[in-house]
Amino acid sequence: MLDSTSVQRHDGSTYQRPGIQGSMSVQPQDNAQWEQALTFIAVDRDKRAYSQLFSYFAPRLKAFGLKMFGNEQQAMEMVQDTMLNVWQKARLFDASRGCASTWIFTIARNVRFDMLRKKQSRKDELSADDLFFDGDYPEQEGVDSNEWDLWLLAEKVAPHFAKLPPAQRDVMEKVYLEEKSHQEVSEELAIPLGTVKSRIRLALDRLREAIDDPRS
């Protein structure tokens, strides 16, 4: 049974969304709660925590599936396979490696890849689990790019750095010269994390264009 539940959004407004009656009285709203839900599922096979996660993610995964496949049947197949993986492999979720939403996205992406591969009946060894490795890479020892970095910075990047718009330059200096995390910069400048990331990207694009420009 579905009922309509009013949910507080991040921007403070509310919207109506379907929920599954009974188990849906509590509405986890942020990643910490999804992480907790995944832990409960992993440890206790907690169906209540799972159905909350399900009612939040399934309709969004369906939207993602429709965008990717363009048809309802495959979108729903992707939702079911993805959410089944979440239920069966919750133990693999590791909050230290990323958000719950990130983990669920990567599962949906892998499910979609394998669905496409199956549809083309390609029976080679290229499977999503191998192509989109999600675990820890081994530590690379002895990687030393300092020399190259320094040369490149001095010769190529530095002259263009000063020409960046001040807002972008501030963020770039904090991230690359003071070696602060994106999160720290976001807090320090009181701007959203997304803004930090987009300023970095814009600045990198500018630097790249400046460096690529043969006249420079």
Partner 1 sequence: MIHAVKHHPAQELLEQYIEASLAPELSLAIAAHLDLCPHCQRVKMDLEAEAGAALVNLAEEPATATEWQQMLDFITAQPELAVSMEKRQPFALQIQNSEILLPASLKPLLQNKLKWLNLGGISTAKLAGEDQHNVSLLYIRKDSEVPQHTHLGLEITLVLKGKIYDEAGCYGEGDLLINTPDHTHTPRTMSEDCLCLSVLTAPLKFKKGLTRLLNPLQHLFY
Question: Which of positions 8-47 make contact with partner 1 (CB under 8 A)?
Answer: 17-18, 20, 45, 47
> Rounded to the nearest whole angstrom, what is the least distance from the CB of residue 189 to partner 1 in the complex?
18
**In 3D, which of 100, 112, 101 has the Cα closest to residue 67?**
112
> Side chain identity at 184, as an amino acid letter?
E
User: Is residue 210 within the footprint of partner 1 (CB under 8 A)?
Assistant: no
Does 112 bind partner 1 (CB under 8 A)? Our answer is: yes
5 binds partner 1 (CB under 8 A): no
Give yes or no for residue 98 binding partner 1 (CB under 8 A): yes
CA–CA separation, 141 and 186 (whole Å): 31
Nearest to 55 by CA among 112, 89, 10, 7: 7
Binding of residue 208 to partner 1 (CB under 8 A): yes
Tell me if 190 contacts partner 1 by CB under 8 A: no
CB atoms within 10 A of CB 56: 23
Closest of 97, 99, 57 to residue 78, by C-alpha: 57
- Which tokens in the block code for residue 85? 């993986």
Stretch in the footprint of partner 1 (CB under 8 A) among 163-171, 183-191, 193-201? 193-201
Query: Is 69 an interacting residue with respect to partner 1 (CB under 8 A)?
Result: no
DSSP codes of every residue in 81-96? HHHHHHHHSGGG--TT
- Cβ-Cβ contacts under 8 Å for 93 (sequence gap 6 or more): 35, 38, 39, 42, 100, 103
Residue 88 interacts with partner 1 (CB under 8 A)? yes
Instruction: Examine residue 128 and tell whether it contacts partner 1 (CB under 8 A).
Output: yes
For partner 1, the closer of residues 143 and 190 by Cβ is 143
- Residue 124 in contact with partner 1, rule: CB under 8 A: yes
Closest CB to partner 1 among residues 127, 187: 127
Q: Of these, 109, 160, 169, 180, which contacts partner 1 (CB under 8 A)?
A: 109
Q: Which of 5, 74, 113, 206 binds partner 1 (CB under 8 A)?
A: 113
Q: Does 122 bind partner 1 (CB under 8 A)?
A: yes
- Say how far residue 182 (Cα) sits from the centre of its chain: 15
Residues 129-148 contacting partner 1, CB under 8 A: 130-133, 135-138, 140-145, 148
What distance in Å separates the CA atoms of residue 166 and residue 78, rounded to the nearest whole number? 44
Identify which range of 162-170, 183-191, 200-208 contacts partner 1 by CB under 8 A. 200-208
Region of residue 98 (phi > 0: left; psi between -120 and 50: alpha; otherwise: beta): left
